Amino acid sequence: MGEKIDTEPVSGRAILGQTLKVLREKAGKSLGQLADETGYEKSYLSRLESGERLSKVTVMEDLDGYYGTGDLLLRHWRAARLDAFKDQYKDYMGLEATARVICVFTPGVPGLLQTEDFAREVLSGGQTTADGDAAVEEQVAARLGRQYVLRQKPQPEVRIIMDEFALRRPAAMAKTWHDQLLHLEAAAMWPNVALQVLPFSAGAHHHMTGSLTLLWQRDGSAVAYKEGNGCSRLIEDPDEVLRQRLSYDRLRDLALSPSDSLAFISDVLEEHRP
């Protein structure tokens, strides 16, 4: 009888955890020593090594710097974060990470521009158990990690249209909402981001119940991704992608200009200034 081969796939988090442990042991450090020298809690570092937790991307950047490993841990982290998403969304995430042009319409605050506290509030929902809290923290880390695409080199060109609705439903905590509005105002001035507000005065439109994202790769290929009504769909057929692009263009024509949108966001910020 031939040798039995274990075909169970190894998760990205498990590989990242193994790498973290190997680097620590190679450096001759105990978990306690590593905690003292990096400022992270020993129990937290232990959960990272065991693959129980997904860290924030900044933790991997810190540890890459500590071990002098370039971007080794960061690259492993990018693969590990996909464990937090469903299969079809994993395909989309991989395409988003390499896109040269990203066009988004969303009825809410886009995930690419959410602050940590706002993302936590949006993702927490009705979760109240310890297990629920841990799952939310993993989703928050994964969502914030998506934002790395905005500062990688070369930076993608990003076009975002957000419905006025997103600016009229504040977070539960006043400081969370104030900080989120400040972040949107700052993002609207980033050189690679064009942020537009679709005002209520534009009337009813064809994407009121969901979001639309278009991604263009370096080779010119494109996909569309739609979410809404509890379902999602990755669209690769060129004719359908073109229809979605024209649909996005119609929304852009109805939206405020980037400069008027920045003024709009600033006005909302003034309304909510503490």
Predicted pLDDT at 117: 95
Q: At residue 82, does pLDDT exceed 70? A: no
Domain identity same for 187 and 227: yes
Domain-located, residue 5: no
Tell me how many domains the chain contains: 2
Domain-located, residue 252: yes
Domain identity same for 67 and 101: no
CA distance 138 to 57: 12
Give the residue numbers spanning the domain of 203: 87-117+145-271
Q: Which residue has the higher pLDDT, 12 or 23?
A: 23
Domain-located, residue 159: yes
Domain-located, residue 111: yes
Domain-located, residue 259: yes
Domain-located, residue 46: yes
Q: Which of 34, 56, 81 is the last residue of a domain?
A: 81
Look up the pTM and report it: 0.71
Domain identity same for 190 and 258: yes
Contact criterion met (CB below 8 Å) for 269 and 182: yes
Predicted pLDDT at 132: 58
Provide the edge-to-edge strand list for the sheet that holds 231-235: 193-198, 157-163, 101-106, 210-216, 222-228, 231-235
Predicted pLDDT at 141: 85
Domain identity same for 161 and 37: no
CA distance 156 to 146: 13
Q: At residue 205, does pLDDT exceed 90? A: no
Domain identity same for 65 and 103: no
Domain identity same for 190 and 256: yes
Domain identity same for 195 and 261: yes
Domain-located, residue 138: no
Mean pLDDT, rounded, for 261-267: 97
Domain identity same for 183 and 228: yes
Q: What is the CATH number of the domain that holds 195?
A: 3.30.870.10
Predicted pLDDT at 133: 74
Q: Which of 58, 81, 104 is the last residue of a domain?
A: 81
User: C-alpha dihedral over 168, 172, 178, 179, to 10 degrees?
Assistant: -120
Q: Which of 35, 66, 81 is the last residue of a domain?
A: 81
Domain identity same for 166 and 261: yes
Domain identity same for 100 and 17: no
Predicted pLDDT at 124: 86
- The token pair at 148 is 């790395």
Q: How confident is the model at residue 116 (pLDDT cuts 50, 70, 90)?
A: very high
Predicted pLDDT at 8: 45
Domain identity same for 179 and 236: yes
Domain identity same for 74 and 92: no
Nearest to 163 by CA among 196, 188, 115: 196
**DSSP readout, 51-115?**
TS-PPPHHHHHHHHHHHT-TTHHHHHHHHHGGGGS-HHHHHHHHHHHH-SEEEEEESS--GGG--
Domain-located, residue 132: no
Nearest to 106 by CA among 157, 171, 164, 147: 164
122-170 residue pLDDT tens? 988 755 444 557 778 888 888 888 888 898 888 999 999 999 999 999 9
Q: Mean pLDDT of all residues in the chain?
A: 86
Contact criterion met (CB below 8 Å) for 126 and 118: no
CA distance 228 to 17: 34
Q: What is the CATH number of the domain that holds 49?
A: 1.10.260.40
CA distance 225 to 213: 5
Beta strands 222-228 and 231-235: pairing type?
antiparallel
Mean pLDDT, rounded, for 99-119: 95
